[in-house]
Structure 1
Amino acid sequence: MNQKLVGSALIVAGTALGAGMLAIPMVLAQFGLLWGTLLMLFIWSGTTYAALLLLEASCKVGGGASMNAIARQTLGKSGQFVTNALLYALLICLLMAYIIGAGDLVQQVVRNIGFEPSSMMSQIGFTLVAGAVVSSGTHVVDKLNRVLFLGMILALLFTLIALVPGINMASLLDYASNDKVALIKTSSVLFTSFGFLVVIPSLVTYNKDATKEQLRNMIILGSAIPLVSYLLWLFAAVGNLSSSELVQFASVSDLIAALGKQYAGLEFVLSVFTGLALLTSFLGVAMALFDQNADIFKCNRLGIFGITFVLPLIGAIVAPEHFLAILGYAGIILVFLAIFVPMAMTLKVRKLEFDLTQVYQAGGGSIAMGTIFLFGCFLLFAQVI
């Protein structure tokens, strides 16, 4: 796999590895390491296969820098409208969240050097700088993301090196709840943690000269990195804090503070990791929305910049207190967008004749398609119970 494809795999991984990773131990610890691991593997398998379905649809329509381009060629006008509505709802909500989080982070950093920016100014400054990077093109996002991802992995490795020696084997076997319904409810958090699908159309276009095997490996590697990272982090956190402690934390900040008390310097490292994870996720999501808008509105980059970032920025500034309620519905939107829409696209293109030695097609046939449909229904059930 060449550097361009490795960089693309890191964009996939960076988009998935959001700051929500740190909340995974608090969500799963009460059910024990075994059940938490099995559920995460189940969610990863279904999400990755759905991503391969979207890869197939994108390749068979000749590539497309946005979901809009693929939906237009596979689902018709009505399907294109539904896909766009779901995608915009999801991406704008996510960008609002990242701008709010990044604004807080920028505000803290600037305060440390003697300035007192307002929350609004911090959010505007972050959006202008990060938005300019995204507007420069996928190749710029790729190169910056490699550096950010390296920093994020180093922070994670430092954290694991600090935590692993203190692991208590009794804590790994401990669990506070045997409620399997409550365990299923956590599926929505895990599913959102693998929400990288939105960047696939952009990356297929970016790697237009890659073979079908290289594109497939790009997706699998990109999704496997967050899986391994999540499992290692869950193992280290659960091994150092009991399940009863983890479930009492009200926020990620509580978890970071608790670990920071045990290990000097760890609170700072985890804060760095959180900031980098948030930034890599922002870049991936913003790139997907930017390419979507460029495909629809066909205007210059400055105009696309305004269309892409003004609305999420206004939402972050005006109504941050209401956003968390909105974000609760993002998981349901993502189920339709990441599971059912790629299924519909793939079923459509499979009715046409293609030379499968040249064009990628996900394996498994009708059995796999039926299984992924049931997987989507399971995720909807987990959202509403």
Structure 2
Amino acid sequence: MKKSKLRTIIIIIVLLVFGLLFFNKFIGETPDKAEIKAVALKVDNSEVINSGITSIGYQSIKVRVLKGKYEGEKFTAVNQFTGKAEIDNYFKEGDKLLVAIKEKGNQVTAVKVIDLYRQGWELSLFLIFVIVLLIYARIVGVMALFSFVTSIYIIWNLLIPGLLAGYNPLLLASFTLIILTALIIFSIAGLTKKGLAAFTGTVTGLLITIIITLFFGNKLGLQGMTAPFSQALLFSGHMDLNMKHIFFASIVIGASGAAMDIAMDIAASIAEIKAQKPEIEMRELIESGFNVGRAVIGTMTTTLLLAYSGGYLTLLMLFSSKSTSLSRMINFKMVAAEILRTLTGSIGLVLVAPITAVLAGWIYSINFKEVIGWKKD
């Protein structure tokens, strides 16, 4: 009991450290040099031309700064419209805004509205997630929260900078996923046979998924430009990036979470069977793992389909409204990219199940102490 409490305390401390690092990285920029919070006092729409749901021109907004060295001061900020509804915001009086103040020396030269200030509600949503997770899962919830926050930190500080630096996207993604898989699985299962089986099954399945993605991605002639903001990324000074392999890496990363779920389900099932029936043979363990895997796979592959199709629901509605033929639809570049994402991810999931079953059956059927020649005095 004492060890369990001590482990919980250590995890919470580590979690707080990572939380502070995360906060400092994303939110803790010096307000005087970066974006700050303000409130809209008065909005002038005289220069705005509305066309349907889009607008062109700009809003002139009187704002009062709520944080930083300019706290309480009032400025006139500009909200420039681009004509793209997915990016533009139409602000009104009373809105909490994120504004950027440009300085030259100690003089304010320009104030620009960046977006709505959504941090408060996003933090509230995250706190609800934390509370629900901890109330239900308790110590396991603490471990899950630790792996959640740490995964965000690793992705932002290892994967993203590495991709921008031009490192091989698939190698870097593989390395990152191995770290994340070890972190997530071993933080939940501990350094146990169950954790080892889930880890090796997940990694093996993901490596096979990479090979399948490379082969069919090249055959489908996809260059990775269907990903959101890929063109903007290239034109922002990163023309040397391999967008095709970055897209392939995103497919494998997207499937990794579900792969870990399946691997852990099967490994945990075999661990429970072995605990209840210690004399069971390896063949029976593997057969049990296969049976569990078949049941889990039946819903998990559909989960991927729903997740990916949900992201392109409006595109599917557009095809339906235009009575687009099936042939034209499935050959459309964006649809082909999502077909590749869904099917390669699903193939990876199907492969993770039997691989984990075999590995877990073998791991739980051998005595590691005898294998390494260790004898208890």
The structure number with the bigger radius of gyration is 2
Using CA pairs under 8 Å that are at least 6 residues apart, name the structure with larger relative contact order, 1 or 2. Answer: 1
TM-score range, shorter chain: under 0.3
Instruction: Name the structure where helix makes up a greater proportion of residues.
Output: 1
TM-score computed with the length of structure 1 as normaliser: 0.24
Instruction: Name the structure where strand makes up a greater proportion of residues.
Output: 2
